[in-house]
Amino acid sequence: MRRFIQHTAPVRYFKPQGIPLRTIRSIELTAEELEALRLKHMEGLEQQACAERMGTSQSTLQRILSSAHTKVSTALVEGCAIRILGEEPDSDV
């Protein structure tokens, strides 16, 4: 099912400073995970409002947020890069 995504990231990667990208593991964050994080934490919306904006159920939004939190936390704690995927996974990077 296609979800509504209003914002796309201006960059595709975040990585620890001073470490070449080719030497570290990348964790992929989907466009819908990024949008869920943006709506919940930057716009400060409740989960039900986030779900409505994305065109999904609250339980699905909760799963998307949980996955996003796990990925971002892992990247920060383990020093991984975060690769932000577009709406469809791209293969040109």
Q: How confident is the model at residue 1 (pLDDT cuts 50, 70, 90)?
A: low
What is the percent of the chain with per-residue pLDDT over 70, rounded to a whole number?
A: 86
Give the pLDDT band (50/70/90) at residue 65: very high
Q: Could you say which of 1.10.3720.10, 1.20.1250.20, 1.10.10.10, 3.40.50.2300 is the CATH number of the domain covering 26-84?
A: 1.10.10.10
Residue type present at position 45: L
Residue keyed to tokens 């577009």: 86
Q: Which of 2-6, 7-11, 21-25, 84-88 has the highest mean pLDDT?
A: 21-25
Q: What is the largest CA-CA distance in the chain?
A: 41
Which of these, 71, 45, 77, 76, lies nearest to 58 by C-alpha position? Answer: 45
Q: pTM here?
A: 0.82
